Structure 1
Amino acid sequence: MTAARLLVVDDEPDLRTLYELTLLREGYEIDSAGSVAEALALLQAGRYSAVITDMKLPDGSGLALLRWLEQAGRPEKALVITAFGSAENAVEALKAGAYDYLTKPVDLRQFRLVVGSALGRVAPEPVPVVEDAAPAPAAATALRLVGESPAIRAVRSLIDKVARSMAPVLVQGESGTGKELVARAIHEHGARVKQRFVAVNCGAIPENLLEAEFFGYRKGAFTGANEDREGFFQAADGGTLFLDEIGDLPLAMQSKLLRVIQERSVRPVGATAESPVNVRILSATHKDLGAEVAAGRFRQDLFYRLNVIQIRVPPLRERLEDLGLISNRVLARIAQDAGVSPTPRLTAGALQTLSRYAFPGNVRELENLLHRALALAGGEWIDADDLGLPDALLDEGRSESQFAALDTPLPVAPVSEGLSLPEQLPSDLARYLDEVERAILLRALEQHRFNRTAAAASLGLSLRQIRYRMARLAISAGES
């Protein structure tokens, strides 16, 4: 196998030599530079597996190299070395696209570990997922990321970007929006996908057990400690540690967590020495951590470390155009689990009722509603009455503009010619109207070779409106 080729950039000859010797012993090929200009000349002349650069250089900052790599679309992983205690520089480097960072004086053991991690060389053998709760089924993992709304597209775009680095990510959103699923998606799109994903609900652990659960303990450390036990950090070594509801951690534990993140090592309860850990930290909260910091309930320095990149997961009420798609996916999954065939569908009235509800519990609440509706409907169609939503709850705290755009009636257009009402209206009028609307949409789509933009324009609809209707009526892109 060809040795990985690395570029080391540092203006101090002694340190540069130390890094070179350390990496040569690991079997890497090394080029070195003492300035931004020298480094750029080498980068323009050849390719590297990774670039290791000091932040402070005689003719500029190591960030200039990161920006050049980004603008040139280069694949090299970038590792940045910052001055001790310069958290601002570390955060700035991660935001600029650095894979990871080290602080001076550099611990050579940690140096080898971080470089190996960037090149995918030091992760432990793949093991089964370890977490504090049962893993979510694969279908459920993707479920809440379904949709074509601008809000959810932005989330997916951010996931793709942040998955490539070691930068800490804070996922913020209301309960039930799918914060853990976003964290899983980051893990599954990154280099650590074959390693452990350890999910921890910080609010579910008693305060007196937090340290032992997070860092592990040694036999005899306290009453009941009959054997050594690893903590969450050790369990996630080589993989990803997801700290859900991080805002619920007490201040004393926040201080200990900050030290572990900074030092990249843990000391189990009852142990005399620390052990290095190589984990990527993802965290989530439904709280406004900025306000928690202002109120003195959350450490500012820990917030600074965790909030390098923030992903906000939108509530369901902000992406109503995805409601039909999500509902169809939920119904397909629950019908399959229940052995119900064919999968029931929502009538137009049911979907309109759902679009008028604020969903304080977001997608999780939608799932519960559809579970109940499936049981009550007992047929191929789910109507508004099956949802069990009282009129008093509809439109509460909501403006008409949030859903009016999705509910514009289809105009009578040339594509509807040939469709006429029967002499006697059917008993299931809602279902009949759905079928009529479906026929109109299909005819428009076929006339425009399934170009949704052109078909929508012929019907006087926007692209978003026709997408919404296609999802609600289960019309696929190439249906004939």
Structure 2
Amino acid sequence: MPGKSNPTILVTDDEKSIRNSLREILEFENYTVLEAEGGENALRQVQSNTVDLMILDIKMKGMDGIEVLEKVKDIKPGLPVIMISGHGTIKIAVEATKIGAFDFIEKPPDLNRLLISVRNALSRNELIEENRRIRTELNNVTEMVGQSAAISRIKKTIEKVAPSTSRVLITGENGTGKELVARWIHEKSPRASKSFVDVNCAAIPTDLLESELFGHEKGAFTGASEQRIGKFEQASGGTLFLDEIGDMSLDAQSKVLRVLQENQVTRVGGSKRIDVDVRLLSATNRDLEKEIRENRFREDLFHRINVIPIHVPPLRERKEDIPVLAKWFLSRLSQKDIIYAGKSFSNDALDEMKELSWPGNIRQLQNAVERMALLSDGDEITRDDVIRLATMTGSDNGGLDELLEQSLTFQEYKEKAERYYLIKKLEDHDWNVSATADAIDIQRSHIYNKMKKYDIER
């Protein structure tokens, strides 16, 4: 039987008598029924209404059912479609199934056969959505929150490209949510049950990146005491996400390009070519076209990875999302019992947050919400709390003013101040070591040494 929400079924047929008959049958079963007498009308309704299932005639005036089915699968790939026809042949049925039809029923449809197919299609869709929900919770993939036009466009793009194997390049500043976009593409793809393997190209030293990506054989180099499976092999059948791909060396770029051309890897120190089936997603905060002009990124690799571009804008360009995100982060804190559920933002606090620039984007906003939730007094976070706490940067030892109040030797103060400075700069660049090194004009290896010395972890 249908669920409490009364699933909506769109009946598309150019014969009014058929539409009336199907409406009568389906409404008796408590389904909500929409009608369309042709393909153009049907496509408009799919785009503008919430439709859970489509019953579609093949032979219609104008656009036929096969054309409509193809366009529906472009607009809403997950929408189940039951095809009906009075001129059914095995060839047409096979063609419709290949395109993605759930079932094929001859006219006049047998009542029981039709209702069983409708229930099965809706049940399968519910099961797919429930599996996706459980999987995203287990994988700790949070939803994409926002109501701006930019976020709506990104969500629509994800819906369109996720079912394919096309490569996607996600661009945007640090902290805008590029990894979340990649994870949602994976979660909504046919590969969702397989591995999502992410690699931060900026965090791996250049001389180790090849081993990390392609693996190595035992004895391939000093320290290779056992065989290692690389990220491409680990992601085979699933998705590989190369974060900060703009930080990859030219030598590593050429090897990645070869893998994408041949769909094979060879482990370091080995000779066997290993087949891999990987859907590649990439992300960068760099302008890769500028990097190409300055001979720091391969143009042929750029065109390989940039089949579908998705740009995630910074918060300052979508300020209407800031209150929505702030309230969502606050609710997550209460769900995790970090704060009690009664805490809320005043309207003027949310207005004040929209006026801030948030250079660290969503990451900075999330940290600020947690800070304000824990340190503000009372049940409501006010405008004064935002002014006082939102952009305050803390560390284990507080800010520099607090350090000055402590009884420290000059050497102790220097070390604590240096630790505080590095944490602040790493946070500003979303813990991208290469970007931080460029910004503060020191070598990346020096940052790693300082992080080890001061026990700094993300």
Measured after TM superposition, the shift of residue 324 of structure 1 is 1.9
SS in 2 for 1:358: coil
Give 1:228's aligned amino acid: Q
| Alpha-carbon separation, structure 2, partners of 1:284 and 1:276 | 24
Report Cα offsets for 1:41-70 as digits up to 9, x if no partner.
xxxxx9xxxxxxxxxxxxxxxxxxxx9798
Flag as ranges the 4+ runs of structure 1 deviating above 4 A: 67-75, 135-140, 388-393
| Alpha-carbon separation, structure 2, partners of 1:178 and 1:218 | 36
Q: Structure 1 234/382 Cα, relative in aligned 2: closer, same or farther at 3 Å?
A: same
Give 1:351's aligned amino acid: L
Q: Structure 1 244/389 Cα, relative in aligned 2: closer, same or farther at 3 Å?
A: farther
Contact 2:213 2:231 in 1 (8 A): yes
Quote the residue 1:186 is aligned against. Answer: 185
Quote the residue 1:159 is aligned against. Answer: 158
Contact 1:198 1:242 in 2 (8 A): yes
Aligned residue runs from structure 1 range 438-449, under 5 A: none
Report Cα offsets for 1:69-104 as digits up to 9, x if no partner.
9865468x9xxxxxxxxxxxxxxxxxxxx9xxxxxx
Give 1:308's aligned amino acid: V
Quote the residue 2:449 is aligned against. Answer: none
SS in 2 for 1:284: strand
Contact 1:373 1:382 in 2 (8 A): yes
Identity across the alignment (%): 46
Report Cα offsets for 1:425-450 as digits up to 9, x if no partner.
xxxxxxxxxxxxxxxxxxxxxxxxxx
SS in 1 for 2:170: strand
Q: Structure 1 229/195 Cα, relative in aligned 2: closer, same or farther at 3 Å?
A: same
Measured after TM superposition, the shift of residue 392 of structure 1 is 11
Measured after TM superposition, the shift of residue 137 of structure 1 is 6.4
| Alpha-carbon separation, structure 1, partners of 2:221 and 2:180 | 36
Contact 2:202 2:247 in 1 (8 A): yes
1:211 counterpart = 2:210 = yes
| Alpha-carbon separation, structure 2, partners of 1:272 and 1:391 | 55
Aligned residue runs from structure 1 range 111-126, under 5 A: none
Give 1:300's aligned amino acid: E
Quote the residue 1:150 is aligned against. Answer: 149
| Alpha-carbon separation, structure 2, partners of 1:138 and 1:148 | 25
SS in 2 for 1:283: strand
Quote the residue 2:349 is aligned against. Answer: 350
Contact 1:373 1:388 in 2 (8 A): no
SS in 1 for 2:320: helix
1:299 counterpart = 2:301 = no
Quote the residue 1:363 is aligned against. Answer: 362
Quote the residue 2:386 is aligned against. Answer: 387
Measured after TM superposition, the shift of residue 354 of structure 1 is 0.4
Quote the residue 2:15 is aligned against. Answer: none
Give 2:142's aligned amino acid: A
Report Cα offsets for 1:297-327 as digits up to 9, x if no partner.
1000000000011011121122222222211
Report Cα offsets for 1:132-164 as digits up to 9, x if no partner.
xxx996696334x21221110000000001101
SS in 2 for 1:311: strand
Contact 2:174 2:361 in 1 (8 A): yes
Report Cα offsets for 1:198-237 as digits up to 9, x if no partner.
0110000011101111100111111221211100001101
TM-score scaled to structure 1, two decimals?
Answer: 0.53
Contact 2:168 2:309 in 1 (8 A): yes
Quote the residue 1:319 is aligned against. Answer: 318
Measured after TM superposition, the shift of residue 333 of structure 1 is 1.0
Q: Structure 1 390/223 Cα, relative in aligned 2: closer, same or farther at 3 Å?
A: closer
Q: Structure 1 136/368 Cα, relative in aligned 2: closer, same or farther at 3 Å?
A: farther
| Alpha-carbon separation, structure 2, partners of 1:188 and 1:136 | 7
SS in 2 for 1:281: strand
Contact 1:184 1:197 in 2 (8 A): yes
Quote the residue 2:194 is aligned against. Answer: 195
Tell me the matched-pair count: 272
Unaligned runs of 5+ in 2: 1-57, 59-65, 78-98, 100-134, 393-458
Quote the residue 2:329 is aligned against. Answer: 330
Aligned residue runs from structure 1 range 36-115, under 5 A: 72-73=71-72
Give 2:173's aligned amino acid: E
Give 1:318's aligned amino acid: E
Measured after TM superposition, the shift of residue 337 of structure 1 is 2.5
Report Cα offsets for 1:435-470 as digits up to 9, x if no partner.
xxxxxxxxxxxxxxxxxxxxxxxxxxxxxxxxxxxx
Q: Structure 1 317/198 Cα, relative in aligned 2: closer, same or farther at 3 Å?
A: same
Quote the residue 2:251 is aligned against. Answer: 252
1:266 counterpart = 2:265 = yes
| Alpha-carbon separation, structure 1, partners of 2:244 and 2:265 | 21
| Alpha-carbon separation, structure 1, partners of 2:253 and 2:68 | 35
Q: Structure 1 179/137 Cα, relative in aligned 2: closer, same or farther at 3 Å?
A: farther
| Alpha-carbon separation, structure 1, partners of 2:73 and 2:315 | 37
Quote the residue 2:227 is aligned against. Answer: 228
Q: Structure 1 139/235 Cα, relative in aligned 2: closer, same or farther at 3 Å?
A: closer
Quote the residue 2:167 is aligned against. Answer: 168
| Alpha-carbon separation, structure 2, partners of 1:276 and 1:327 | 45
Give 1:153's aligned amino acid: S
Measured after TM superposition, the shift of residue 378 of structure 1 is 3.7
| Alpha-carbon separation, structure 1, partners of 2:279 and 2:206 | 24
TM-score scaled to structure 2, two decimals?
Answer: 0.55
| Alpha-carbon separation, structure 2, partners of 1:363 and 1:72 | 35
Quote the residue 2:31 is aligned against. Answer: none
SS in 1 for 2:141: helix
Contact 1:331 1:343 in 2 (8 A): no
Quote the residue 1:141 is aligned against. Answer: 141
| Alpha-carbon separation, structure 2, partners of 1:189 and 1:392 | 35
| Alpha-carbon separation, structure 2, partners of 1:350 and 1:72 | 45
C-alpha RMSD over aligned residues: 3.0
Q: Structure 1 136/376 Cα, relative in aligned 2: closer, same or farther at 3 Å?
A: farther
Report Cα offsets for 1:241-285 as digits up to 9, x if no partner.
000000000111000010011110000011112100000000001
| Alpha-carbon separation, structure 2, partners of 1:276 and 1:161 | 28
SS in 2 for 1:332: helix
SS in 1 for 2:229: coil
Contact 2:343 2:379 in 1 (8 A): yes
SS in 2 for 1:208: helix
| Alpha-carbon separation, structure 2, partners of 1:182 and 1:260 | 24
Aligned residue runs from structure 1 range 418-433, under 5 A: none
Measured after TM superposition, the shift of residue 387 of structure 1 is 2.6
Measured after TM superposition, the shift of residue 353 of structure 1 is 1.2
Quote the residue 1:404 is aligned against. Answer: none
Q: Structure 1 298/137 Cα, relative in aligned 2: closer, same or farther at 3 Å?
A: farther
Quote the residue 2:283 is aligned against. Answer: 284
